[in-house]
Amino acid sequence: METNPDQRNAVIEAIVLDIEGTTCPVNFVSQTLFPFARRQLTQVICEENRKASVSAAIQEAINEWEKDTDPTSQALLLQATNQNPPSAEEVVRYFEHLIECDRKSTALKELQGIIWEQGYASGELKSPLYPDVIPALDTWKQKGITLAVYSSGSVKAQQLLYSHTTHGNITDRFSFWFDTRTGPKLEEDSYNIISQIIGIKPTSILFISDHPGECDAALASGMETRFCLREGNPHRNGGHHRVIHNLKEAEPKHDVI
């Protein structure tokens, strides 16, 4: 029987999890997903009977390009406007430029999503999970804890990743999916919105991430936090957040007295 409950250790009713560096190795995205999309870029854009979704992403890229004030982008556009609209090869060059400067482009994200979807569907892509992930998710679910994803990849990309893991489709574990359309991961407000949508107060939510800034923002909203320190993660210092090395160590308090 607990007589002096710690306010920062309230009963946890929901757990919100980051993906990269938390459930899936960071290098899967950087060393597998992004190079895969880049390799397929020319083929997907230049093929004769390209999908309508690819054409839509190209149009979106051209719209972004026209407003892009970056000097290299402008130089590329100047070359490209010899042909109106820009040729497929010129659009490829623009996408490659966006990748090189690590631009957060909606059109690029869209196109990468399409390419990954094809790769997952064909079985060429499978996402690796840390071995402790599924047992932890299942344990939490059995306890009646609501599980949610909050990742900077689009919800579509998150669902693709979790649909095609090396352990099969695990999307059924999660009840809510959040990406940066909910808000930036470093802002407290995003976590308040997540709490509202889930319908559980922040103090009853545990947020797990490998990024200390994200943990700070979640903590500011009132959530409990765990800083997930995995081998190969770029962030090694969790600051004042409780550090875990696998999800089993997260130990959300869930004893209903």
Instruction: Return residues touching Mg ion (CB under 5 A).
Output: 18, 20-21, 210
Residue 18 or 224 with smaller CB distance to Mg ion:
18
Residue 20 or 110 with smaller CB distance to Mg ion:
20
Q: How far is the CB of 130 from Mg ion (least distance, A)?
A: 12
Q: How far is the CB of 46 from Mg ion (least distance, A)?
A: 34
145 neighbors 15 (Cβ within 8 angstroms) = yes
Q: How far is the CB of 203 from Mg ion (least distance, A)?
A: 23
Q: How far is the CB of 30 from Mg ion (least distance, A)?
A: 12
Q: Where are the beta strands (DSSP E) in 126-233?
A: 146-150, 176-178, 205-209, 224-228
Residue 90 or 210 with smaller CB distance to Mg ion:
210
Residues 6+ positions from 198 with CB-CB distance below 8 Å: 14, 16, 146, 148, 175, 176, 205
Residue 44 or 228 with smaller CB distance to Mg ion:
228
Residue 151 or 192 with smaller CB distance to Mg ion:
151
Residue 13 or 210 with smaller CB distance to Mg ion:
210
Encode burial over 117-142: b for 16+ CB neighbours within 10 A, e otherwise: bebbeeeebbbbbbebbbebbeebbe
Instruction: Establish whether the linkage from the previous residue to 128 is cis, with ω within 30° of 0.
Output: no
The tokens for 80 are: 């490209």
Cα distances from 163 to residues 25, 30, 125, 135, 167, in angstroms, run 16, 19, 11, 17, 9
Q: Tokens 């059924």 sit at which residue?
A: 172
User: CA 193, CA 199: separation in Å to the nearest integer?
Assistant: 10
Residue 18 or 68 with smaller CB distance to Mg ion:
18
The H or E element containing residue 120 is helix 106-122
Q: How far is the CB of 146 from Mg ion (least distance, A)?
A: 20
Q: How far is the CB of 70 from Mg ion (least distance, A)?
A: 27
Q: Is the dihedral of CA 174, 205, 21, 248 positive or negative?
A: negative
Determine how β-strand 146-150 pairs with β-strand 14-17.
parallel
Q: How far is the CB of 92 from Mg ion (least distance, A)?
A: 29
